[in-house]
Amino acid sequence: MRIDYRKLRGECQRHGPDHITEQVKTCLAEKVFKPEDFSFHELAEEFLGHDYVRSCDPRRGDARPLREASDAVDVTAFSNITGQLLVNSVLQGFENAPKVASTLVSTIPTRLNGEKVPGVEHITDEVAVVQPGMPFPHYGFGETYIETPTSDKRGLKCSVTKEAIFYDLTGHVLTRAGEVGQVLATRKEKRVMDMIIGYGGGSTPNFAGGGKWKYKGTEYAVFNTTTVDWSSYWYVNQHTAALSDYTDIDEAEQLFAEMRQPDTREPIEIMGTRTLLVPPALRVTARRIVNTTEIHEGDSDVRIGVSGNLVDDLGIQAVSSAYMYRRLIDGGSVSAANAKKHWLYGDFAKAFAYMENWPITVVQSPPNSYVEFNQDIVIEVKASERGTCAVINPYYVTRSTGAG
């Protein structure tokens, strides 16, 4: 869409820079136009004046700060509009990046940098009976707890230089801004995926990377093939079934049936949708298992019986991720052949969380900052997010190596 910069300037002169900035922000949010519809060069011509744009020519030696352009209309409006274009591009890049793992886990806002999450006391059925005239038993937080790792801030910057204005490199700058958001989202996706697959960012699981569960001060592997000794209440959630049909889903379900929660000692009940997470090599298989409408038993000549989808009542969604496959190889040191066989199943939102101090946040630098003189940077934005991966209830997800 062609932007009428003269009309924008007129609106700014009549109603002030804040009004025009809000209008631009609203139009971007409602997708009336896109950031790439703008031209930094033409925007500067209208709001800062021809003298300022000429001074941006690297061949000239009279470069001047925004406030000194003789025919400038409104420096604040130019700065705010340009900054808003960068902000939108960064946020759009973040939103458009692949986020399979990040959407499966819970996001828990927190102001703490690592914390202890208390569990609940175990109460037997007998104690829960209240006799006439007797006090009610107390049910509250007990001595059990899990710990979450400390969080880290991650961020990048993107800038508009005077050369970008003079040579009208709008598309180039906005592409870089989008990449800033995409990189932040991608790095987060890798960290969350490492937690989910149980490797914590390397072949040796570690607590700081979200690859281990810290329960009552002791670190445990996220996935176990033998029972962890908790008075016979715990917890095998790894097996070797190769994903081929509904019987393999049933094997994972039987693992849930054998496990108990450590605090309440109640069975593991998954209420709602289960997720089947697979690498691309198992995507078609997973969808066939979940979406099939009929199952024929017997050989091709003799049909013993026909039934509907035997796992349809479980409400399974099949999800595939290339990052799962790559992180198993790169982060978990699993061979490519074996990485293609791995699959995970369960309630990921119950098992894992991202403890979020703040979501993706983009901040614009003020105009006429020192970097304009030192580096010819006219507008600069920085994007950051802070949080950490945390294993909360690992027994709500099972993992299969697919070894058979």
Average pLDDT, integer, range 101-112: 96
The secondary structure of residue 109, as a DSSP letter, is E
Strands 274-278 and 343-346, by their bridges, are antiparallel
Output the DSSP codes for 71-95: T-S-HHHHHHHHHHHHHHHHHHHHH
Q: What mean pLDDT comes out for the span 64-72? A: 49
Residue 97 reports pLDDT greater than 80: yes
- Answer yes or no: is pLDDT of 69 > 60: no
pTM of the entire predicted model: 0.87
- Who has greater pLDDT, 169 or 229? 169
Instruction: Tell me how crowded residue 105 is: count the other CB atoms within 10 A of its CB.
Output: 23
Looking at residues 21-25, what average pLDDT do you find?
86
Query: What's residue 391's pLDDT?
Result: 96
Q: Worst-scoring range by mean pLDDT, 176-185, 328-337, 372-381? A: 372-381
Please give the Cα distance from 252 to 239 (Å, whole number): 8
Provide, rounded to the nearest whole percent, the portion of the chain with pLDDT above 90. 48
Question: Is it the case that residue 70 has pLDDT exceeding 50?
Answer: no
Element (H, E) at 47: helix 40-47
**How does residue 312 score in pLDDT terms, banded at 50, 70 and 90?**
confident
- What percent of the chain is modeled with pLDDT above 70? 83
Residues 6+ away with beta carbon under 8 Å from 307: 294, 295, 297
Concatenating the DSSP letter of every residue in 159-172 gives EEEHHHHHTT-HHH
Q: Name which residue leads in pLDDT, 69 or 317.
A: 317
Q: What is the residue type of 83?
A: G
Q: Which residues of 4-35 are buried (b: 16+ CB within 10 A; e: fewer)?
A: ebeebbebbeeeebeebbebbbebbeeeeeeb
Give the phi and the psi of residue 295 in degrees, each rounded to 5: -125, 120
When the pLDDT of each residue in the chain is averaged and rounded to a whole number, the result is 85
Quote the pLDDT of residue 105: 97
The structure tokens listed for 352 are: 């894992």
Residues in the chain: 404
Asked whether the predicted pLDDT for residue 387 surpasses 90, the reply is yes
Report whether 224 contacts 198 (CB < 8 A): no
At 121-138, the pLDDT tens digits run 555 555 567 788 878 766
Looking at the predicted structure, is the pLDDT value of residue 143 above 90?
no
The confidence score (pLDDT) of residue 118 equals: 77
pLDDT computed for residue 297 by the predictor: 61
Please state the rounded mean pLDDT for residues 96-119.
92
Q: Which of 298, 90, 67 is nearest to 176 (CA)?
A: 90
Mean pLDDT of the region 323-328: 95
Alpha-carbon distance of 123 to 139, in angstroms, equals 7
- Whole-Å CA distances, 248 to 120, 251, 306: 33, 5, 19
- pLDDT at 306 (0 to 100): 47
pLDDT exceeds 80 at position 24: yes
Task: Give the C-alpha separation, 353 to 351, whole Å.
Answer: 7
Pick 62 or 10 by higher pLDDT.
10
Q: In terms of Cα–Cα distance, which of 45, 29, 42, 44 is closest to 3?
A: 42
